[in-house]
Structure 1
Amino acid sequence: MLKSNVDLHDKEEYATLLLWDFAGDEEFYHTHQTFLSPDAIYIVVTKLNEADDKKAKDLFQLWMDSIHCYSRLEEDINKSDASKRSSYDLDPPVVIVGTWKDALVCDVEEIDDACRENILKYTENISEDELGHIRQEYFISNTEDDPSVFQQIRENILNLARKMKTWNKAYPLKFIQLEKQLQEKKKVLPIISFQEIQKIAFDSPQPLNDEELRLFLEFHHEIRALVHFKDLPSYIILDTQWLSNAFRCIVTAKKFRDISIRNIKNGMYCTVEANYIVRF
């Protein structure tokens, strides 16, 4: 999907893809909610051969809880229990990918039946509401499956994306002008004040009023093209990767930390930790 040659001048429709790879280490759990969005498809990957491992099951539960808690559409949150039961599918959709299929030891003839049994072990303590997010399940082997298996997953995820509410959503042309200007601004600074973005919006060839600017910021925050918290309205983070890197400087998993080394040379201390060199 990412490497294919695409002719942007043909009559097919294309969408912009933002791809996020979340850190699975527990130290990063509290940063995830910043980047979870209701306008996304979540691919939850787990090992089929660890379905009896409590730690693996707890981690799977944590991801499903996080997606259900922090990413649900407002309309789904406000639904009554009765309406939830009548409409089982909840957004955002979740695709489960079970890996290590080749390492699975089973007594049944059909390997896919054994894979389904192990996925059921992962989901046995998941609530009915959370199960409503799951749309598709895949069982793969990274060592034995040929490329066509992965291509089929890509195509099915693309078809799932076409059914989402944000696909083909009307997008004001005014937004595109401001979007392009902010893309250029992002190359200089990753963060911008609300007053500055307000000035840019007003000085555009097709100016945005305050209500249109609010809708612009809400829309782009929902898809995480930028970050704008309503309770911190004074600043807008244009570069979400910069924010992720900032978290990484503060919160680092233990396995990525090196032993601190302090050398005294010309009165300067040098601490090497977490793949960063900090001089002071």
Structure 2
Amino acid sequence: MMEDAVISGLKCQTEERHLKTANRSTRSRKENISLAEDLKEEGEDISKLADRLKERVKFAGDTSVPDLDFSLWDFAGQFVYYITHQVFLTSKVVYMLVTDLTKSLEESTKIMLSESSVQEQVLPNEWKVKDFLSFWMNLIHTQGAAEVTVNKEGRKVVKREHFSPPVIIVGTKKDLLDDPENDSKKRLKEIKEYLGRTVPVASRHIVGMIALDNKSRKDEAASDPEVKRLREMIKHTAMEHFNIGNIPVKWLQLELALKKRKEETMPLCDAYRIGKDINLTDDGVTKALAFFHSVGEILHFDMMSETRNLVILNVGWLVGLFKILITQSIACKDDIDAPPMLSYMTDELYLRGRLHEDLVDHVLKCNRRSSDKAVLLATMKQFDILCEKPTEVNRGNRHVYYLPWLHQSACDTGEDIIHPPGSTPSCSLYFHFRGNFLPDGLFYRLIVRCLRKWPRATELVKHRIRILVDSAKDLHLVIRKEALI
């Protein structure tokens, strides 16, 4: 795992639950047990479940006391996972950007393609610690913006100094510095000044910075007191930024009913049926699923037919599906029993950004996930991670897909490839993003969108592509990404 800048997202719900009628706020133990009968898991003691349920809703009648429910996510630091993070990022979270304080901003670091030893290589453009920090801040900025209100004069003003979603910078390994207290403050100051200078817009998401001695200790009292301060900072930040308002209790009942299921996923029609059992309409279920999706508890992608009718109850199920495709495809290079063609397809994927359907089938079959292939590909299409390459269809209609993010080919003659001798360039159209805001994912999503409209990619090299738009007129579209420092 890349240790220099790892991101964690705290999916948090700050829900002030209310009961629609006053008498419900004094629901009897008998009624609690009746509800628990419907929600208890196999073998679970019903009285304990009733107490737990009662504890969860005891604040329902008191809207002045918020019900905080946190879940912690750790986003993978390997390079190949970066483009998939957008599937799970959301705006209603507190982000912690974690960085190693023993490394300076200018220190170069290896960009690991994966955990596999085969791909332990430095990519053509080696990243520094500061590059990772800028990358993550820009990526987070895609999920939010400033909260704007209108003043008495009718002018728009920013409601808060900080943007949402909020970010806490966490520096680790403080104890390994020569002067832990002073050196850690100096490093955090350098990070703050660097981000404020290079990504001034995205840096406005930062609400706090903290340095930790994060060694695990059996006695919590012996742990760094800054760990406790971090917990309080997270709680305070969530309370300040995510006062969602009144959430119907039936949504809580639906969540509990869905989470007690043993399945990782379920058809949308089954979720509607469960909703009817608690007197929740189909529209009410849809709204509840949208809320749970926004806080990362349950996933429901309703933009494509392949995913619209699927409710993902365990988010880890989809995370695992991505991990299988990424890590197991690389493992084909180490597997001496694997067909030689699979080794070639792995190189195609990680050097040329081409994903062969045969490789997808192989890794999913080895992990008994073949039935999940349609959901995997549909999700990657929905988020513009890949697109079909119609000019390359193998025997038996076996497809090849473009994943521009993984295209690592770069060469000295790249400019001649993009603008071959004799070609006549037209006027260029530039999109300039204020504050150095241009996440890599946005650039590659643009490429995927263009390839869907004009599927003939004449040449594709790192950060540049030439697409054939009109063969009769020999008209090409050139897209490139440049950094203005």
Q: TM-score, normalised by structure 2?
A: 0.46
Instruction: Kindly indicate whether residue 187 of structure 2 is the aligned counterpart of residue 111 of structure 1.
Output: no
> Hey, what does 1:244 align to over in structure 2?
319
Residue 200 of structure 1 aligns with which residue?
274
Call closer, same or farther: CA 1:87–1:230 in 2, change over 3 Å.
same
Q: Quick one: which of 152, 157, 170 aligns to 2:246?
A: 170
- Greater fraction of residues in strand: 2
Question: Which of residues 69, 74, 84 in structure 2 aligns to 1:21?
Answer: 74
Counterpart of 1:191 in structure 2 is 265
Question: What is the match of residue 226 of structure 1?
Answer: 298
The 5-angstrom pairing of residues 82-93 of structure 1 reads 83=156, 87-93=160-166
CA contact (8 A) 2:92 2:295 kept: yes
The alpha-carbon distance between structure 1 residues 105 and 229, as it changes in their structure 2 partners (threshold 3 A), is same
Which SS does the other structure have where 1:42 is aligned?
strand
The structure that has the greater radius of gyration is 2
CA distance in 2: counterparts of 1:95 and 1:253, whole angstroms: 33
Q: How does 1:3-22 map to 2 (within 5 A)?
A: 14-22=67-75
User: Are the structure 2 counterparts of residues 208 and 256 from structure 1 closer, same or farther at C-alpha, using a change threshold of 3 Å?
Assistant: same
Which runs of 4 or more aligned residues in structure 1 lie more than 6 Å from their structure 2 counterparts after TM superposition?
A: 9-12, 253-258
Per-residue CA deviations over 1:230-260 (Å, capped at 9, x if unaligned) read 3132211111011111111011299988821
2:226 paired residue among 146, 149, 152? 149
Distance across 2 between alignment mates of 1:87 and 1:245: 37
* 1:204-254: CA deviation from partner (whole Å, max 9, x where unpaired): 13x222331221011000001111113132211111011111111011299
Aligned to 1:45: 98
Mapped partners of 1:240, 1:32: distance in 2: 13
For the aligned residue pairs, the C-alpha RMSD in angstroms reads: 3.6
Could you tell me which residue of structure 1 aligns to residue 121 of structure 2?
A: none
Tell me the distance in 2 between the aligned counterparts of 1:255 and 1:279. Answer: 14
Asked whether the 8 Å contact 1:25–1:253 carries over to 2, the reply is no
Q: Give distance in 2, aligned partners of 1:115 and 1:256.
A: 38
Return the alpha-carbon distance in structure 2 between the equivalents of residues 60 and 200 of structure 1: 44
Q: Is the 8 A contact 1:89 1:133 kept in 2?
A: yes
- Assess if the C-alpha contact under 8 Å between 2:147 and 2:159 holds in 1: no
Indicate conservation of the 8 Å contact 2:105/2:128, yes or no.
no
**Quick check: 2:75–2:85 contact (8 Å CA) kept in 1?**
yes
Return the offset for 1:15: 1.9
Compared CA separation, residues 254 and 103, structure 1 to 2 (3 A): farther
Residues 84, 245 of structure 1: alpha-carbon distance in 2 compared, 3 angstrom cutoff: farther
CA contact (8 A) 1:76 1:91 kept: yes
Shift of 1:201: 1.1
Match among 61, 67, 72 for residue 140 of structure 2: 67
Using the size of structure 1 for normalisation, the TM-score is 0.76
Q: Structure 2 vs 1, CA of residues 256 and 89 (structure 1 numbering), >3 Å: closer, same or farther?
A: farther
Q: Deviations over 1:90-117 (max 9, x none)?
A: 11100001223344579xx943542234
Return the offset for 1:136: 0.2
2:129 counterpart of 1:56:
yes
Q: Which residue of structure 2 lines up, in the alignment, with residue 160 of structure 1?
A: 237
Q: How many residues align?
A: 253
Percent sequence identity is: 26
User: Structure 2 matches for 1:260-271, cutoff 5 A?
Assistant: 260-262=335-337
Cα distance, 1:13–1:86 mapped onto 2, change above 3 Å: closer
CA contact (8 A) 2:138 2:199 kept: no
Greater RCO between the two (CA within 8 Å, min separation 6)? 1
**Any gaps of 5 or more consecutive residues in structure 2?**
1-51, 60-64, 108-126, 217-221, 339-363, 369-485
3-state SS, counterpart of residue 90 of structure 2: coil
